[in-house]
Amino acid sequence: HRGGSVEPVDLDPEYESAAIRAAQVLGLRAAGVDLLETGAGPQILEVNSSPGLKGIEQITGVDIAAAIIAHIEEQAAFPDVDIRQRLTLKSGYAVAELTVASNSPLANTTVSAAQLKDRDILVLNILRGSIAIPNPRGSQNILPGDILVCYGSTQSLKELIPAGRKSRAGKPAPAPGAK
């Protein structure tokens, strides 16, 4: 921008995560994200799908356009796949996000000890705050507040959803099969 200056900064992981999520929400693989530092954490001001690169190149010494092209070429081998659609082609199977409550039998155990594979459930990812743990090993701890991204038997996944879970309207969710 006119009259602007650039300087290198070490970005706090919370701010980095916010910027990445903002770009992902818009389906962008490369973007410029303007953030505002507030007492409540990062606030997104603007997401630029075609950001100016001059300042970034000046401060980093990196040819950003070439780096973006190299990244796109690398990603061409891994096209976007709607994983939920691909994995639910077989009747009776689904992808679900399960939040681990403090009183859940899954809380404070490991992926192996939870015996989810025995229930025909695979843990694809554990989301812990701003940290993602992809393809967790059996020794990985499951903590209260974790979000487990799972694929498996719809019936088994339903059994892991706590009874009395609230629906979006704030009313108890109806029992499966109830009208």
pLDDT digits (tens, 9 = 90+) for 10-43: 888 888 888 988 988 898 877 889 889 899 989 9
50 in the same domain as 18: yes
142 in the same domain as 119: yes
Residue 179: inside a domain: no
59 in the same domain as 126: no
129 in the same domain as 65: no
Domain membership of residue 103 as a residue range:
83-159
CATH code, 39: 3.30.470.20
Q: What is the pLDDT of residue 171?
A: 45
How much is the average pLDDT of 41-65?
Answer: 87
Q: Per DSSP, what are the bridge partners of residue 36?
A: 43
Bridge pairing between strands 93-99 and 147-153:
antiparallel
More confident call, 169 vs 81: 81
Give Cα separations from 42 to 33, 34, 75 (angstroms). 11, 10, 28
Query: Of 24, 59, 75, which residue is a domain's last?
Result: 75
67 in the same domain as 93: no
Buried b (16+ CB within 10 A) or exposed e, 159-174: ebeeeeeeeeeeeeee
Interval 107-133: pLDDT, tens: 999 999 999 999 999 999 999 988 899
66 in the same domain as 19: yes
Compute the C-alpha angle 122/170/17, nearest 5°: 50
At 118, list the tokens.
Answer: 């025995």
Average pLDDT score over the chain: 83
Residue 141: inside a domain: yes
More confident call, 39 vs 3: 39
pLDDT exceeds 70 at position 142: yes
- Torsion, Cα 50 42 10 16, to 10 degrees, reads -60
Residue 177: inside a domain: no
Q: What is the pLDDT of residue 163?
A: 63
3-state secondary structure of 161: coil
Domain count, the chain: 2
112 in the same domain as 64: no
33 in the same domain as 17: yes
